[in-house]
Amino acid sequence: MNLNEVRAVVTGGASGLGYAVAELVIASGGRVTLFDIQDAQGQKAAQTLGAAAGFQRCDVSSEASIDAAMQAAAAAMGALNVVVNCAGIGTAGRILGRNGPMPVDQFTRTIQVNLVGTFMCDRAAAVIMQHNPPGPDGERGVLIHTSSVAAFEGQIGQSAYTATKAAVAAMTLPIARELAMFGIRCVAIAPGIFHTPMLAGMPPEVQESLGKQIPFPSRLGKPSEFAALAASIITNPMLNGTTIRLDGAIRMQAK
């Protein structure tokens, strides 16, 4: 699939990794609908990206919200052939914290947003993509998951987050195998430490320290580098059913 043919939904697209993906797709001639729960920020992001961008307020923890937004996005763009799942939360907390045991609803909320939300977006998109006219090799669509290096080296306090990111990576292959009959690919990206709005709020010395932990290049990852890998996945039909680490060779320590 060429980038100028892309009609994509990017969840969590109002900022960070998702916004960078949208920016690259649009610069390459494609169209994007941003999904985000942040209404004002989402509207502003779409306006900044220009006429090829749209916005749908979407809560990825809600099946009804996802289904309605996905149908609206496909109608607005005239098609839907790519979904990039970037929406997620990074709730941290120890099982036995200073204030007592971790509330179970904190764990289940993380699962609902990061894991179930990704599954529901894939599901809603596949319902539409299965009817796309086939391209070269019979391709009809691409689903991209955002996992994390935490899926492999989860740190103390990341039990909920790690569980979701490991599961997102693990379900990539069975989804790819199942949807192969429809010509829909599924690939996951497992980024390391990237310069996102969450990290931008940290003191500069903390950001510098985190960057130095990365063997090479010894800096935080750039959202544009995540977007470049997403573009490679979209355009290379042999990338399917796998999880790709994008981390500068970092291996996270226990804490």
Residues noted as catalytic: 161
Q: Name the one residue in this structure whose structure tokens are 């220009």.
A: 50
Backbone φ and ψ of 222, nearest 5°: -100, 135
Could you check whether the bond before residue 217 is cis, i.e. omega within 30 degrees of 0?
yes
Amino acid at 13: G
Please state, in angstroms and rounded to a whole number, the distance separating the CA atoms of residues 255 and 232: 32
Q: Apex CA 82: angle with CA 80 and CA 220, to 5°?
A: 145
What DSSP state is assigned to residue 168?
H
With a CB cutoff of 8 Å and minimum separation 6, the contacts of 123 are: none
Distances (CA, A) of 158 to 36, 91, 132, 220: 24, 8, 39, 20
Amino acid at 8: A
Question: 33 and 109 in contact (C-beta within 8 Å)?
Answer: no
CA torsion sign, 240 to 241 to 246 to 251?
Answer: negative
End-to-end C-alpha distance for the chain, whole angstroms: 41
Please state, in angstroms and rounded to a whole number, the distance separating the CA atoms of residues 247 and 185: 23
